[in-house]
Amino acid sequence: MVAQNGKDLLIKLDLTGAGQFETIAGLRASRLSFNAETVDVTSLESTGGWRELLGGAGVRSAAISGSGVFRDEATDERARQIFFDGEVPNFQVIVPDFGIVEGPFMITSIEYAGSHNGEATYEMSLASAGALSFTAI
């Protein structure tokens, strides 16, 4: 796989609930992580005392985070509305030369910051809230 531009990892938000995905404006850095809890089924009969895990039994989750420059655009307004209303809309994360992850996410935090001689910035964190789909590119 050839090196990819970080700016090509996009976080998109369904603005209307009808599958109209738009990139969240102003993001400069984005991250997607997948997690799976383990279920330990080790017993006295486990070979050599090695831990044994039960495949497919743990809770799976994904987390998205991003940071960027504050811009007063439709996606910024929609993200704030989602947070304050406690909505769980669909998001897409496009990972270059990998695929598209799509599903419901809850915005768990939004942070705004600014310095006297710099631009206003924000950070956003999201947690998966249901089954996710993956489409290879």
Domain ranges of the chain: 6-136
Question: pLDDT tens digit string along 78-137?
Answer: 888 999 999 999 999 999 888 999 999 999 999 999 889 988 899 999 999 999 999 998
Q: Assess contact for 128 and 61: CB atoms under 8 A.
A: yes
pLDDT at res. 72: 65
In DSSP notation, 18-57 reads SS-EEEPTTEEEEEEEEEE---B---TTSGGG---B-TT-
pLDDT at res. 25: 79
Q: Assess contact for 40 and 51: CB atoms under 8 A.
A: yes
State the chain's maximal CA–CA distance in angstroms.
65
> Stretch 42-70: mean pLDDT, rounded?
93
Range name among 4-8, 41-45, 102-106, 111-115 with the lowest pLDDT average: 4-8
Task: Quote the mean pLDDT of the chain.
Answer: 90
* pTM reported for the whole predicted model: 0.85
Percent of the chain residues past pLDDT 90, beyond the cut: 61
Percent of the chain residues past pLDDT 70, beyond the cut: 99
Structure confidence at residue 73 as a pLDDT band (50, 70, 90) = confident
CATH class, domain 6-136, is few secondary structures
